[in-house]
Amino acid sequence: MESFIEPVAAFFGPSWPLVWSLVKIIGIIAPLFLCVAYLTLAERKVIGYMQVRIGPNRVGPRGLLQPIADGVKLLLKEVIVPSGANKGLFILGPVLALGPALAAWAVVPFSDGWVIGNVDAGLLFLLAITSIEVYGVIIAAWASNSKYAFLGGMRAAAQMVSYEIAMGFALVCVLMISSSLNLTSIVESQGKGQWAEWGFGFLSWNWLPLFPMFIVYLISGIAETNRAPFDVVEGESEIVAGHMVEYSGMAFALFFLGEYANMILISALTSILFLGGWLSPVGFLPDSFVWLALKTSFILFLFLWFRATFPRFRYDHIMRLGWKVFIPLTLFWVVVVAVWVMSPLSIWK
């Protein structure tokens, strides 16, 4: 690998760091889009089988080319800008919906050392980036100049801001016990302890000591990505499709891509923060990227499973769960963990 890179680096000269970063970015974004495409197929197939249907099976062998066909269809459709819409912001909306979902991957480690930016404040960066995701939704909603879109956007803004707080507190617990904001060291700190030495690595991961926070983070993640059963943002039976109602063609596809990229991001983060990232669950198997992929796929399967199982929450129930259940619970648990870490009973020394 080194002998291959060096002549290329010499060819680009001083602009090499820029080129190398671009190569790494494409190396993450391109597989991510492929995952997004096949996640849509997986969703339709999984929900299909859960409802005793077959799901898409016409395009390609066993329907495997369906996401490609969908993509081509959306690309060829006309993007209609409503006459009363604020044109610039109407275009900016979908861009801002997808942008943060991709930017967050800059600090996500895939394996030991496999990360674009191994920044010290990685967790903070993630919190900041995910907190600006809501702009895409509310800008799109306002710029569409439509009542349905606007109502959807208001709901979305309220829901995403509420659940962000609970997610933030759950992350505070994680960073307290690993005493680092760097995602790589958070993963590494989960591989230490008595259980890991005995070969039962999966018992030393954060999900066990922080079990309530793990559940809160997972549920808040579903609410944050506006997935069922928290999908009142789109609520097709009440407000048609929420903020996306005026969008067509590729502009709509960007929202769609953003939602699925966010799902993958939240799943990967849950795996990294609570399920030990690329660490192997048992002592006799090596740590590798495969474990992270498996864990992420499992969380993604949970997303699809929940969608097929639960009916949509009523809006006041969503707000109650966020503000009156999750935020007090996480606040209390932050104090409990802080005392635990400082007490002689601490298991993270």
Partner 1 sequence: MDFQSVVFYFFSTVLVLASLCVITARNPVHAALFLVLAFFSASGIWMLLRAEFLAIALVMVYVGAVMVLFLFVVMMLDINIERIRQGFWSYLPVGALIGILMVVEMSIVLGGKYFGLDAMPAPGDVEEGYSNTKELGRLLYTEYVYPFELASIVLLVAMIAAVALTLRKRKNVKVIDPAAQVAVKRDDRVRIVSMPAEKD
List residues binding partner 1 (CB under 8 A). Answer: 89, 119-121, 124-125, 127-128, 131-132, 134-135, 138-139, 142, 150, 154, 157-158, 161, 164, 181, 316-317, 320
Residue whose CB is less far from partner 1, 92 or 293: 92
13's CB contacts (< 8 A; 6+ apart) are none
Residue whose CB is less far from partner 1, 123 or 275: 123
Burial classification of residue 83, based on how many CB atoms lie within 10 Å of its CB (0-12 exposed, 13-18 middle, 19 or more buried): exposed
- Nearest distance from C-beta of residue 48 to partner 1, angstroms: 30
Residue whose CB is less far from partner 1, 139 or 228: 139
- Nearest distance from C-beta of residue 89 to partner 1, angstroms: 8
Residue whose CB is less far from partner 1, 65 or 158: 158
- Nearest distance from C-beta of residue 160 to partner 1, angstroms: 8
Q: Which of 171, 57, 68, 54 is nearest to 123 (CA)?
A: 171
Tokens of 332: 């209390």
Residue whose CB is less far from partner 1, 49 or 332: 332
| 3-class SS shares of the chain: helix, strand, coil, % to 5 | 70, 0, 30
Amino acid at position 94, single letter: P
Q: How far is Cα 102 from Cα 95, in angstroms, rounded to an integer?
A: 11
- Nearest distance from C-beta of residue 12 to partner 1, angstroms: 16
- Nearest distance from C-beta of residue 324 to partner 1, angstroms: 9
Q: How far is Cα 184 from Cα 174, in angstroms, rounded to an integer?
A: 13
Residue whose CB is less far from partner 1, 42 or 127: 127
- Nearest distance from C-beta of residue 165 to partner 1, angstroms: 9
Ordered DSSP codes for 143-211: HTT-HHHHHHHHHHHHHHHHHHHHHHHHHHHHHHHHT-S-HHHHHHHTT-SHHHHHT-GGGTSTTTTTH
N- to C-terminal Cα distance for the chain? 38
The number of beta carbons lying within 10 Å of the beta carbon of residue 114 is 16
- Nearest distance from C-beta of residue 270 to partner 1, angstroms: 20
- Nearest distance from C-beta of residue 339 to partner 1, angstroms: 16
Residue whose CB is less far from partner 1, 158 or 329: 158
Residue whose CB is less far from partner 1, 46 or 232: 232
Tokens of 206: 């954060």
Length of the chain: 349
HSE-up of residue 96 (Cα within 13 Å, Cβ side): 17
